């Protein structure tokens, strides 16, 4: 059954219930009462649909949470960036604090690479 997609699996479940139904008396005589299974399999579609809706709601909530996280991060990144501009405006670009603040981002970019080395400059095509 692993080669069936979800929609075909759902169909299969219902078809098994439908196939068992006409043979209930014969199966009972043979020592197997399929009544409970038929009921369970017949109701599976609604349960699967409910579970799928719940999964979609949770995916939507997770997606919204990720977007919110990105929005909050962006808001505070902008605040940090404008803070540097404010320091430069108040103390001047050559002040030690302004220089230190400007170097923070460059240092972090370098730390994204193995060993903390800066990203190599892109090679340009030789001029003819």
Question: Per the domain annotation, does 82 fall within a domain?
Answer: yes
Higher pLDDT, 13 or 128: 13
Distances 1 to 10, 40, 43 between C-alpha atoms, Å = 11, 19, 20
pLDDT score at 107: 86
Question: Per the domain annotation, does 121 fall within a domain?
Answer: no
pLDDT band at residue 11 under the 50/70/90 scheme = very high
**What is the rounded CA–CA span in Å between residue 111 and residue 73?**
19
Question: Per the domain annotation, does 69 fall within a domain?
Answer: yes
Question: Per the domain annotation, does 77 fall within a domain?
Answer: yes
Domain containing 71: what range? Answer: 6-108
Tens of pLDDT, residues 29-62: 999 999 999 999 999 999 999 999 999 999 999 9
pLDDT score at 109: 83
Question: Per the domain annotation, does 115 fall within a domain?
Answer: no
Question: Per the domain annotation, does 116 fall within a domain?
Answer: no
Question: Per the domain annotation, does 64 fall within a domain?
Answer: yes
- What's the average model confidence in pLDDT over 83-104? 95
- What's the average model confidence in pLDDT over 83-106? 94
pLDDT score at 56: 97
Question: Per the domain annotation, does 117 fall within a domain?
Answer: no
Total domain count, the chain = 1
- Percent of the chain with pLDDT strictly greater than 70: 86
The string of DSSP letters for the chain reads: -TTS-HHHHHHHHHHHHHHHGGGHHHHHHTT---HHHHHHHHHHHHHHHHHHHHHHHHHHHHHHHHHHHHHHHHHHHHHHHHHHHHHHHHH-TTSHHHHHHHHHHHHHHHTTSGGGPPPPPPP-PPP-
**What is the rounded CA–CA span in Å between residue 17 and residue 39?**
8
Q: What angle do CA 107, 74, 100 make, to 5 degrees?
A: 30
pLDDT score at 105: 84
**What is the rounded CA–CA span in Å between residue 14 and residue 11?**
5
Q: Is the pTM of this model over 0.85?
A: no
């Amino acid at each position: 059954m692993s080669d069936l997609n979800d929609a075909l699996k759902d169909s299969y479940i219902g078809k098994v219930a439908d196939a068992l139904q006409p043979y209930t008396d014969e199966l009972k005589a043979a020592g197997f009462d399929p009544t409970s299974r038929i009921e369970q399999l017949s109701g599976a579609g609604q349960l699967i649909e409910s579970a799928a809706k719940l999964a979609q709601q949770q995916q939507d909530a997770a997606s919204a949470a990720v977007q919110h996280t990105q929005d909050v991060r962006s808001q505070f990144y902008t605040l940090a960036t404008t803070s540097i501009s404010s320091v430069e405006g108040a103390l001047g670009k050559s002040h030690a604090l302004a220089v230190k603040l400007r170097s923070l981002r460059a240092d972090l970019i370098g730390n994204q690479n193995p060993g903390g080395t800066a990203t190599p400059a892109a090679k340009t095509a030789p001029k003819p």
